[in-house]
Every structure is written in structure tokens, then in C-alpha cells.
């Protein structure tokens, strides 16, 4: 099982008239083939920025750099990241967004949008150029059936606004099945959906891994949701990874104080793990040089306010905290 993504020292800074905002800081991680990595963090932690960086979709005021970025065995220079990722997007990397309605072109029927994906795949795998009219409806309907779209024959000829949020997310996953991306980045893909649809969409994502060995980066603010689907969890705060480890280990014994707070917020955990501290307040970016979590941390000591701890191996996991110095 090889790495499809290998990132070292990734940072993204937004330039704004009020100064620079470091949104992603010193991130290093690998993503294995067929692995689901959950990235969990609250609003403002930098999750979406990371997703956009990896998909080559950052806005113009974002500056990105890294010590190393290897995507699908290609070494990519941070300076040409945007261009390189644009080339890979849709083929190697596919993104499912939070807002299902922003994912598809509202003016184009589902059929044409799926057919475009089909044409891209056929050109890539067989070197054959097809036109939209060459694509067989039955072929596309099969993909819609695989993601349990009701009335696929009718849905195929609908416009996005005629579908529900859950149906659009399923169409996006059908598109991923057609394109067979090596890496799928899903940024809060189920936030806008009801609980039942949420579970079904997660199930479809998991099937993508089983069917075509896609690797998934699953981004959410909800640690309970991330845990149901992810092999590993990376907990993000203030632009940093605070803890990275196997999902079961992290849930059983969270090591970073912020992770402890997140795990306490899972209702089923609250009953059993009474000793874990609850984290109050919200993330506020500070100009201080220290750990971004110190203002809310129940274990803050002097060193925490002065410098950011390194990400270190603790009990087979990576943790960024002076508690383990
Ligand atoms: N285009 C932008 N220009 C300037 N600052 C930005 C821009 N986009 C995001 N930021 C800032 O970068 C930081 C990280 O934002 P990001 O959207 O990545 O966080 P997030 O964890 O995905 O939050 P949410 O769940 O609310 O989307 C925040 O402080 C945010 O205000």
C-alpha cells in the first residue's frame, strides 16, 4: 500500500488589508492508498483552506508553500502547486464541497455534467475522444443506480435545482465513480443533509474506497461523524495538526487537551469518560507566539504562551503539546 499524498511543512497564508492570516501552518502528513483520513476542527481552524490548497482551488490572496509535496508520485514544487493541481483536478483529485448546490453547474442538465466526466475518463484511459451525444444514457443511469438515486432515468434529464441536497451529493459521488479519482477530498459533504441521508452518503463514500481504492480526506467539525468513517483522525486547531492517530486510539485515549475536549463532546463518551475536560469558548486567532490553544487549555503552563510545541510521537501517535515533553 503506497502513499498517494506526502506533504511536509505545508503552510497557507492569506494576505488581507488588515495583515496576514496564517490559516494552515507546518502541516505534514501522508495519505495511504485506500485510506480515509478524517480532518476534524472547529470553525476557523483551517480545514477548508487545507482542502482548497490540496485541490488547487485557493483564492488569489492565498500564499502557499511547503518543504515537500508529492502527489501520486509526482514531486510538486510549491510555487507551481496551483498549476500542477489544476492539471490533476478531476483526474487525480476530486473534491466534494459542503454546499451541494455549488458543486454542479446550475445551467446544465445532470446528463451533460455526468457525460463530461465520462468523456474525460474514456479519453484518459482509452485515448478515445467522444462527444456528449456519443455517451450512452444507459451507462450513466447505471452510475446513478449505484448511488441509489430514485428514478435515475428522470433524474438524468433534470437540472441541479430540481434535485434535493442529498441527491446532488449522490450525483457528485456518481461523478467520482465515473472519474475514478485516486484522491477524493470531501469538505463537510454531509453537513447540509438530514441524518438518514448523511449515513447513506457516508456509506457511498466508503464504497468508493472498496470499489476503486480511492483515498479520502474527510473534513468535518464533527468528530463523531469523522470517527464513523475514518481510519485515522487528524485534529486541527489554529492552522496546526494537534494530534494525528488511529481513530480508535484517539477516541479511546485522546492525548491532546483539545482532542480531550472534542471527545467529551461526543454524547456517548460523556457518560463514561467523566474525567475529560470540556473545552469552553471559541477559537480566537492570537498574535502571540505560543500554542494557539493555550488561552482555552486547562493545562496551560508558561512555555505554552511562548512557543509552539513540535508535533512529537507519543504512544504511537503524533501530538503537539508540552504535556508530553
Ligand atoms: N479568502 C480568505 N481571505 C482571508 N482570510 C481567509 C480567507 N478564507 C479563510 N480565511 C481565514 O483563514 C482562517 C481559516 O479559515 P478556514 O475557512 O480554512 O477554516 P475552517 O476550519 O474551514 O472554518 P469553517 O468550518 O468555518 O469553514 C480563518 O481565520 C479565516 O477567517
Taking the CA atoms of residue 264, residue 267, residue 268 and residue 271 in that order, the dihedral angle to the nearest 10 degrees is 70
CA of 23 to the centre of ligand 1 (A): 7
CA of 68 to the centre of ligand 1 (A): 23
Q: How does pLDDT run across 160-192, given as a tens digit for each residue?
A: 999 988 888 889 888 888 888 889 999 887 877
In total, how many domains does the chain have?
Answer: 2
Residue among 17, 40, 46 whose CB has most ligand 1 atoms within 8 A, to mutate: 46
Compute φ and ψ for 262, nearest 5 degrees.
-65, -45
Atom of ligand 1 nearest to the CA of 48: 22
Radius of gyration of the chain (CA): 21
Both 66 and 175 in one domain: the answer is no
Does the pLDDT of residue 270 top 60, yes or no? no
Contact 181, 91 (CB under 8 A): yes
**Is residue 22 in contact with ligand 1, taking CB distance under 6 Å?**
no
Q: How does pLDDT run across 123-139, given as a tens digit for each residue?
A: 888 889 999 999 999 99
Ligand 1: residue whose CA is nearest its atom 28:
44
Quickly state the pLDDT bin for 95 (edges 50, 70, 90). confident
Q: Quick one: the chain helix, strand, coil %, rounded to 5?
A: 40, 25, 35
Look at residue 265 and tell me if it is in a domain: yes
CA of 103 to the centre of ligand 1 (A): 19
Does the pLDDT of residue 308 top 90, yes or no? yes
Both 115 and 245 in one domain: the answer is no
- Average pLDDT of the chain is 88
Contact 6, 33 (CB under 8 A): no
**Cα gap 304→323, rounded to integer Å:** 10
Residue ranges making up the domain that contains 125? 104-180
Sequence length of the chain is 325
Atom of ligand 1 nearest to the CA of 236: 21
Look at residue 217 and tell me if it is in a domain: yes
End of a domain among 146, 180, 214?
A: 180
Q: Check residue 90 and give its pLDDT.
A: 56
**Is residue 48 in contact with ligand 1, taking CB distance under 6 Å?**
yes
Both 54 and 139 in one domain: the answer is no
Ligand 1: residue whose CA is nearest its atom 7:
14
Residue among 49, 60, 221, 225 whose CB has most ligand 1 atoms within 8 A, to mutate: 49
Does the pLDDT of residue 274 top 90, yes or no? no
Does the pLDDT of residue 119 top 90, yes or no? yes
- Where are the alpha helices (H) located in 180-256, listed in sequence order? 195-212, 223-229, 247-252
Compute φ and ψ for 84, nearest 5 degrees.
-60, -40
Quickly state the pLDDT bin for 291 (edges 50, 70, 90). very high
Atom of ligand 1 nearest to the CA of 46: 18
Question: What mean pLDDT comes out for the span 84-106?
Answer: 74
Pairing between strand 312-314 and 317-319? antiparallel
Q: Check residue 155 and give its pLDDT.
A: 96
Q: How does pLDDT run across 204-229, given as a tens digit for each residue?
A: 888 888 888 899 999 999 999 999 99
**Is residue 220 in contact with ligand 1, taking CB distance under 6 Å?**
no
C-alpha cell at 38: 478524517
Q: How does pLDDT run across 32-71, given as a tens digit for each residue?
A: 999 999 999 998 999 999 998 888 888 889 999 999 999 8
Does the pLDDT of residue 325 top 90, yes or no? no
Both 270 and 140 in one domain: the answer is no
**Cα gap 197→238, rounded to integer Å:** 31
CA of 225 to the centre of ligand 1 (A): 21
14 or 95: which leads in pLDDT:
14
Report residue 66 CA to chain centroid gap: 18
CA of 263 to the centre of ligand 1 (A): 23
Both 216 and 158 in one domain: the answer is no
Provide the ipTM.
0.97
Least confident among 120-129, 140-149, 281-290: 281-290
Both 15 and 78 in one domain: the answer is yes
CATH code of the domain covering residue 204: 3.40.50.300
**Cα gap 167→173, rounded to integer Å:** 10
CA of 73 to the centre of ligand 1 (A): 29
Q: Check residue 10 and give its pLDDT.
A: 94
**Is residue 135 in contact with ligand 1, taking CB distance under 6 Å?**
no
Amino acid at each position: 500500500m503506497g502513499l498517494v499524498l506526502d506533504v511536509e511543512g505545508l503552510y497557507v497564508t492569506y494576505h488581507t488589508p488588515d495583515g496576514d492570516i496564517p490559516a494552515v501552518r507546518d502541516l505534514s502528513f501522508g495519505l495511504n492508498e485506500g485510506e480515509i483520513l478524517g480532518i476534524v476542527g472547529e470553525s476557523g481552524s483551517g480545514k477548508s483552506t487545507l482542502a482548497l490548497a490540496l485541490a488547487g482551488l485557493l483564492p488569489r490572496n492565498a500564499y502557499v508553500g511547503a518543504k515537500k509535496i508529492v502527489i501520486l508520485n509526482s514531486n510538486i514544487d510549491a510555487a507551481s502547486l496551483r498549476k500542477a493541481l489544476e492539471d490533476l483536478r478531476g483526474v487525480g483529485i476530486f473534491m466534494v464541497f459542503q454546499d451541494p448546490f455549488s458543486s454542479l453547474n446550475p445551467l446544465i442538465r445532470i446528463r451533460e455534467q455526468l457525460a463530461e466526466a465520462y468523456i474525460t475518463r474514456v479519453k484518459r484511459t482509452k485515448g478515445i475522444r467522444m462527444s456528449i451525444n456519443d455517451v450512452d444514457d444507459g451507462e450513466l443511469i447505471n452510475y446513478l443506480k449505484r448511488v441509489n438515486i430514485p428514478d435515475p432515468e428522470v433524474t438524468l434529464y433534470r437540472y441541479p435545482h430540481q434535485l434535493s441536497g442529498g441527491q446532488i451529493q449522490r450525483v457528485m459521488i456518481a461523478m467520482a465513480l465515473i472519474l475514478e479519482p485516486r484522491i477524493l477530498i470531501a469538505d463537510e459533504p454531509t453537513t447540509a443533509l438530514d441524518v438518514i441521508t448523511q449515513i447513506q452518503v457516508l456509506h457511498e463514500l466508503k464504497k468508493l474506497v472498496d470499489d476503486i481504492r480511492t483515498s479520502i480526506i474527510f473534513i468535518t467539525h464533527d468528530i463523531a461523524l469523522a470517527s464513523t468513517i475514518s481510519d485515522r483522525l487528524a485534529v486541527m486547531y489554529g492552522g496546526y495538526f494537534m494530534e494525528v492517530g488511529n481513530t480508535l486510539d484517539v477516541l479511546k485515549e485522546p492525548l491532546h487537551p483539545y482532542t480531550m475536549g472534542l471527545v467529551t463532546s461526543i454524547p456517548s463518551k460523556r457518560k463514561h469518560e467523566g474525567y475529560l475536560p470540556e473545552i469552553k469558548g471559541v477559537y480566537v486567532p492570537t498574535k502571540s507566539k505560543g500554542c494557539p490553544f493555550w488561552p482555552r487549555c486547562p493545562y496551560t503552563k508558561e512555555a505554552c504562551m511562548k512557543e509552539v510545541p513540535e508535533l512529537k510521537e507519543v504512544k504511537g501517535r503524533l501530538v503537539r503539546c508540552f504535556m508530553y515533553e
